[in-house]
Amino acid sequence: MYNKIVGFIRELYGEPDAFIPLHAPVFEGKEKEYLNECIDSTFVSSVGKFVDKFEDMLTDYTKSTKSVVCVNGTNALHLALLLVGVEQNDEVLTQSLTFIATANAISYAGAYPVFIDVDKETMGLSPEKMKIWLTENTLVKGNECFNKKTGRRIKACVPMHTFGHPAKIEDIVEICNELHIELVEDAAESIGSFYKGKHTGTFGKVGVLSFNGNKTITAGGGGMLLFQDKKLGVYAKHLTTQAKIPHRWEFVHDRIGYNYRMPNINAALGCAQMENLDKILSNKRKTAMKYKEYFKTVEGIDFFDEPENCLSNFWLNAIILKNIEARDEFLQYSNDNGVMTRPVWTLMNKLPMFAVCQTDDLTNTKWFEERVVNLPSSVRN
């Protein structure tokens, strides 16, 4: 059976023999033109017209009030947590089924992640499980939420839209508002994904996108902060530029700032990629639908489709096998035969630096860990 699946993928990508990566970038627009323009202008660092243009393009596309570009998505997450008031020894609710950047950013802020289970329908943070854990383990005092066991304040919640599939974000927002918990959306994987017609990353006080080389569109690296509060966005931009007060020659800084601004040369790539985003998303959706139709005919393997009320970008297509043995057999066979596939990330609570963190039962999280495989999802020619 696995040889037939690998054969289908090779036919899908028109590659009978060559290695097929999981997700490669595609440069079919004005990338070279814009890069040459950067070099000719000498503005290749964090000041330049493409930095501002890239931010404006994301503001328009996501319908945010303001966007602020950062050097990568992890920096953007770190700053987002600081902007909503996360402090040393706070706790932040998130999911164990995520890339390590989510948990690392929480640690950079000096806080402790608390790992809550995900939903079967979305692979994202489960509002039902979140509500159960909060009811059993927290109390509200003076408009702040506290963990009864540790005594620490639970300041924020960071759901992640896994593989570009939106989580049940409206329900998460409702819980956070009820218990005075700030919402930061890790939308790193979900540019072009919408929940009930609204772009991911725009439901909380701050949302974060990523433009790493393996994302739907890339700037070589990079992240973007999305804001509904323009004043907070302006303050964020100030912090990303070492909190320097603008002046023609003086160096005066009014806060502890960060060197988090994206270089103009990366933003130039991002602008060219944004110009082709709709085309890229359409191409990736067609690939996902071909996978969906194919796996209807494969016994014991299910294609993970977009959840209800969602328009997913299908960043990485995922299939669900019947158990961990089948998963490992398929991973071995496909990678041995030149088709790159991978499992989900090692669960955060299984990593040594996060092993002491609190969790709920993580029932669905463990279920996915043993069964999910990502398939090649690049744009096809």
Q: Is the pLDDT of residue 349 over 90?
A: yes
Which strands form 372-375's sheet, in the order they lie side by side? 302-303, 317-320, 372-375, 342-343
Q: What is the pLDDT of residue 46?
A: 84
Which one-letter amino acid corresponds to residue 125? L
* pLDDT (tens digit per residue) in 191-221: 999 999 999 999 999 999 999 999 999 999 9
φ, ψ of residue 139 in degrees (nearest 5): -145, 155
Residues with Cβ within 8 Å of 157's Cβ and at least 6 positions away in sequence, in order, are 92, 93, 94, 125, 130, 172, 175, 176, 181, 182, 183, 184
Q: In the chain, what are the domain boundaries?
A: 2-26+277-349+358-375, 31-275
φ, ψ of residue 10 in degrees (nearest 5): -65, -40
* pLDDT (tens digit per residue) in 338-347: 999 999 999 9
Q: Is the pLDDT of residue 136 over 90?
A: yes
φ, ψ of residue 164 in degrees (nearest 5): 90, 0
Average pLDDT over residues 143-156: 97
Q: What is the pLDDT of residue 1?
A: 85
* pLDDT (tens digit per residue) in 263-299: 999 999 999 999 999 999 999 999 999 999 999 999 9
Q: What is the pLDDT of residue 51?
A: 97
Mean pLDDT, the chain, as a whole number?
97
Q: Which CATH class is domain 2-26+277-349+358-375?
A: alpha beta
Give whole-number Cα distances, 235 to 238, 240, 328, in Å. 5, 9, 47
Q: Let me know if domain 31-275 sits in CATH 3.40.640.10.
A: yes
* pLDDT (tens digit per residue) in 89-113: 999 999 999 999 999 999 999 999 9
Q: Is the pLDDT of residue 47 over 90?
A: no
Which one-letter amino acid corresponds to residue 369? E
Q: Is the pLDDT of residue 324 over 90?
A: yes
* pLDDT (tens digit per residue) in 3-25: 999 999 999 999 999 999 999 99
